[in-house]
Structure 1
Amino acid sequence: MKASKGTGVLLLLLVGLLAGAEAAAGEQRERHGWDITVEANTDFPLSLGGRLGVESPWRLRLSTSLGYLPPAYLRLANDVAVGMGAYERRVADLIEDSLKNSLVWRTHVGWRPFPGAGFYVEGGYGMVALGGESNPEEVLVSLTDLTPPTGEEVLNRVYRVRSVLHMLDVELGWRWGLGSGWTARTALGAAFTLDSNSHVEPQFEPSNPVLVSLFSRLAEGYLDRTFEKYVKLPVVSFSIGYAF
């Protein structure tokens, strides 16, 4: 009987030691392992594309993503903003015409504060560029409410409108392990336009270059003020990825 009790105590001690060793090994992996994840990613309503994330042994994170701004994303975001009274339909049309199909690049740094949980915080820089389209002068005038250049003899005047937005991003998210290296991630964040650089270029040879150039510069200023005032977006992210 005493031998049986002694054996039981030894078994309990052995199980405890094994459990402690496994926990220590897990902590060791947590402290010394690097995590590299490649994801298919969407940041609605900003981009659809791919994302590369790296996490250090100290749970410090670095990520970069590259995608494009689908017109449907921008249209839906504008419809919601107009419906809520955030800005007028004319402003929404101006934003859509200038930014749709843009390239979107976002780079974040962050931290996962809890070793046993997937919660993380990130912040960083975002850029929206190389989008937009060509607009007839009458359309650009209707969107900006500017006076067109007078005395210009060229008919059917068209301008190429492009804008680059520099944005501040913040994000709270959670990552899950799905097994066999697969991961899922979701996040809620925001993007704020800090600076805008717009270019309005005539796609014709003006007969009065000074007035056309003045109109273009005024339109650029109007665009920049509009983006810096109104392009402040909540961002919902979702990714499926594979960790190496």
Structure 2
Amino acid sequence: MKARETISALLLLAGLLTGAQARAEDPQGKHGWDITVEANTDFPLSVGGRLGVESPWRLRLSTSLGYMPAAYVGLVNDVGVGLDAYGRNEADLIESSLKNSLVWRTHVGWRPFARAGLYVEAGYGLVALGGEVSAEDVLASLLGIEPPGDAEALTREYRVRSVLHMLDVEVGWRWGLGAGWTARTALGAAFTLDSNTRVEPQFQPSQPLLVTAFSRLAEGQLDRTFERYVHLPVLSFSIGYAF
């Protein structure tokens, strides 16, 4: 009888200790709402800032805003041309239409393991408000389109602007550096789903119908170029502070 009571007491004590240990360990795997502000680069898309929010259930939401440096576009084009992915004409079109664009990306994701920094995200990317003015003869040569016949063709210019709608995917890791500071790196990809290009004459055309037709042809050619070639691997680095 005494032996049975002793065993019961030991089992009860073990249960209490196990429960206490579980309660002590449980908070280590949980946290409240986590808000992080980061200085961020998504190479070769943008340099800028990023705001991230993580819930107590490790669901994530992030948004970033930056610009696309001309050097990023140029480096990607050099690699693409070197690998024969596309020609120099396509590279020049991509660079002249996208450099210095505004880049906005918004993702949702999940960090599956409570005690690890691994996370996965997917979302939407917008590239807009970039581009530059191009001379008509240069634009026609790059596109392989005949410009409207006019003696002033050598001096006429067009503003080229493109808006890209992209699908983003990303796998990354976040580290806590102490005192609220964080670091993050990720590998992902951005795929162009749709392109909307505007080619606008920067002059008063004497043959408006021909100039309009030339502009529409140029827009279609540029959109096909972006939708075919602008699918990029993306490497991200961030330093941030968590509140």
Give your verdict on TM over 0.5: yes
Q: Which residue of 2 aligns with 1:89?
A: 88
Q: Which residue of 2 aligns with 1:180?
A: 179
Asked if 1:210 is matched to 2:227, the reply is no
- TM-score w.r.t. length of structure 2: 0.90
Structure 2 counterpart of 1:175, which letter? Answer: R
How far apart in 2 are the matches of 1:208 and 1:94? 25
Structure 2 counterpart of 1:71, which letter? Answer: A
Q: Is the 8 A contact 2:51 2:64 kept in 1?
A: yes
Q: Which residue of 1 aligns with 2:121?
A: 122
Give, in angstroms, the shift of residue 156 of structure 1: 0.5
- TM-score w.r.t. length of structure 1: 0.90
How far apart in 1 are the matches of 2:85 and 2:145? 22
Aligned-pair Cα RMSD in Å: 1.9
Asked if 1:134 is matched to 2:136, the reply is no
Q: Which residue of 2 aligns with 1:167?
A: 166
SS of 1:171's equivalent? strand
How far apart in 2 are the matches of 1:19 and 1:171? 36
Cα distance per residue 1:128-180 (max 9 Å; x no partner): 00000000001101111111112465651000000000000000000000000
Which consecutive segments of 4 or more residues in structure 1 shift more than 2 A?
13-22, 151-155
Q: Which residue of 1 aligns with 2:98?
A: 99
Q: Is the 8 A contact 1:152 1:207 kept in 2?
A: no
Structure 2 unaligned residues grouped into runs of 5+: 1-13
- Matches of residues 56-95 of structure 1 in structure 2 within 5 Å? 56-95=55-94
Structure 2 counterpart of 1:22, which letter? Answer: A
Q: Is the 8 A contact 1:66 1:105 kept in 2?
A: yes
Structure 2 counterpart of 1:164, which letter? Answer: V
How far apart in 1 are the matches of 2:153 and 2:227? 33
Q: Which residue of 2 aligns with 1:10?
A: none
Q: Is the 8 A contact 1:153 1:207 kept in 2?
A: no
Q: Is the 8 A contact 2:185 2:235 kept in 1?
A: yes
How far apart in 1 are the matches of 2:158 and 2:219? 11
SS of 1:96's equivalent? helix
Structure 2 counterpart of 1:89, which letter? Answer: R
Structure 1 unaligned residues grouped into runs of 5+: 1-12
Structure 1 counterpart of 2:34, which letter? Answer: D
Q: Which residue of 2 aligns with 1:4?
A: none
Which is further off, 139-148 or 42-51?
139-148
> 1:42 and 1:153, CA in 2 relative to 1: closer, same or farther beyond 3 A?
closer
